[in-house]
Amino acid sequence: MGGERRAGTRSRVPYSSRSEGLDSNHQYLGRIRCHEVTNPGGFGPPLTPWVGVQTLTHLNPINMCVIIIKQKTNLIPSEVLENSARINPHGLGITFLDTFETTYHKSTDYELLLTERPFIAHFRYATVGAVGLSNTHPFVCGEQSHELLMQNGTIKGLGTKAKCDSKVLAESLGDLPRAQWKDELEQHESRFVSINTKARTFQIYNRDLYTKQDDVWYSKANVLQDNVVAVYGTLKRGHGNHHRYLRSARFVGAGVTQDKYPLVISGLPYLLSNKGTGHNVEVDVFKVSDSDFDSLDQLEGHPIWYRRQETPITMDDGSVVNAWVYFNDTDSGEIGSEKYHHTYAVKPRRVFYSAPIIPFSLGPTDPDLRPSVLWDEDEVAQDLAEIESNDSPFCVECYNDLVKEEFPGGTYACTGCGGSFTEDEVLKFNF
């Protein structure tokens, strides 16, 4: 029923011995023990009777930013580049390997990478330091103007409110003999690339943490979203589990199951696999990375508790896609004895905060290290007045407040999840 996912061309290098306790994407694993118990009050199916592994992926600093290294003339799919810009919206730096010229851009300029030219590119997600071109990778290494550095990750305790940790590291790295760089950089759990524009060479550090697909190196794999899933319950947009598990996923669209299925809502929703009974169930369809797919399997207890099946979905535009859907038949009871539903439509609660607005609050807890947007005082006052008069524009992903950014131009940033929205999207969802 729940066949294995389609094999791809991706090769992932096994993690090294020093990363014990981390998964193959170098993310922390917190083990949890589960017992076979009945859900209190009889709401929904019994709780998962298996010993699982909970992957804490979305708050890991290594999930922030991505470095892409393309050495050949092959084209990177536009969707991968768009994912990179969407997930990492705070600046794009490119070093073209045919000329070793470096240019800096907004992340929304990702189409510059739709080229046969070889390059190394860095998309930034701000965790430390201001958002702007001054903190866009790569950085000059001290006085050695021909040496540049890119980083995917965060070094705890390094950086200031104005200057990101990678820039501080690059400045200090220039004071070290070049032969010591490898030992210095590889003591950190980050991915690095150094570029020598004089010798026209580059070096990858912590290469075992990279993912290689179609002869392109990626410092993290969450931009490679090849798995299609359809969700019907708490993983839908605006619901409790969406932000934790699908924040970085690519939203394909809404639709319904092509066939009828019984959707039971008894506290929590679960779908029975009895085709032909019930309704065409409303779903949200996403493309997810392998690591997010693994997290969903762990959440649902696949294949012991929930079991996923490839299921045809009719999208709102009339097209049909095959997507993985999680079914639970462990507490099906007598078919027809339950009231079946066509959608899980519990309205999420809007949450607003009275605390000062600090953009991109997924960063360090020290307020001096939180990233800031380079506004002047008049712009801040004007934006806050507009937000107050319009009942605080909110994020449709996590329902925290939005603030308008100066960079990238014309977008709103979520103070909770760091998501980015256009003005049209804000108007559509808020007013």
Q: Dump pLDDT digits (tens) for 236-255.
A: 998 889 988 998 899 999 99
Query: What is the band of 422 on the pLDDT scale with cuts at 50, 70, 90?
Result: confident
339/181: higher pLDDT: 181
Beta bridge partners of 195: 148, 202
Query: What is the band of 18 on the pLDDT scale with cuts at 50, 70, 90?
Result: very low
pLDDT of residue 384: 38
Beta bridge partners of 217: 69, 212
pLDDT of residue 29: 31
* Mean pLDDT across 325-350: 74
Half-sphere exposure (Cβ direction) of 177: Cα atoms closer than 13 Å: 2
28/405: higher pLDDT: 405
The yes-or-no verdict on residue 377 having pLDDT over 90 is no
The yes-or-no verdict on residue 269 having pLDDT over 60 is yes
Q: What are the start-end ranges of the E strands in 191-281?
A: 191-196, 201-205, 211-213, 216-218, 227-231, 250-257, 263-266, 268-271
State what percent of residues in the chain have pLDDT above 70. Answer: 65
Residues 136 and 126: their CA atoms lie apart, in Å, by: 9
Distance of CA 119 to the CA centre of its chain: 23
- To the query of whether residue 300 is one of the catalytic residues in this protein, the response is yes
Q: Is 147 helix (H, G, I), strand (E, B) or coil?
A: strand
pLDDT of residue 399: 57
Tokens at residue 311, please?
A: 């299921």
The yes-or-no verdict on residue 228 having pLDDT over 80 is yes
- 224-341: CATH topology: Hypothetical upf0131 protein ytfp (3.10.490)
Residues 6+ apart with CB under 8 A from 111: 78, 81
- Phi and psi for 39 in degrees, rounded to 5? -60, 125
pLDDT of residue 376: 37
Token pair 């959608």: residue: 343
Instruction: Return the minimum-mean-pLDDT range out of 14-23, 45-54, 185-194.
Output: 14-23
Residues 263 and 28: their CA atoms lie apart, in Å, by: 34
Tokens at residue 116, please?
A: 């046969």
Among 27, 278, 38, 263, smallest CA distance to 153 is for 27
Tokens at residue 330, please?
A: 């462990």
* Mean pLDDT across 390-401: 59
Cis amide prior to 371 (ω within 30 degrees): no
From residue 427, how far is each of 394, 402, 421 by CA, in Å? Answer: 10, 12, 10
The pLDDT tens digits of the residues spanning 40-95 come to: 333 344 433 333 333 333 344 445 799 999 999 999 999 999 999 999 999 999 99
The yes-or-no verdict on residue 314 having pLDDT over 90 is yes
Q: What are the start-end ranges of the E strands in 304-358?
A: 307-315, 320-327, 340-341
Name residue 366's amino acid: D
Beta bridge partners of 152: 191
Residues 152 and 219: their CA atoms lie apart, in Å, by: 7
The pLDDT tens digits of the residues spanning 194-205 come to: 999 999 999 999
Angle at 96 between CA 90 and CA 101, to 5 degrees: 90
DSSP 336-399: TSSPEES---PPPPP----SPP-S-TTS-SSGGGS--B---HHHHHHHHHHHHHTT--B-TTT-
CATH architecture of 61-218: 4-Layer Sandwich (3.60)
Radius of gyration (Cα) for the chain, nearest Å?
23
In the chain, where the domains are located: 61-218, 224-341, 367-430
Q: Which of 147, 189, 300, 397 is catalytic?
A: 300
Name residue 341's amino acid: H
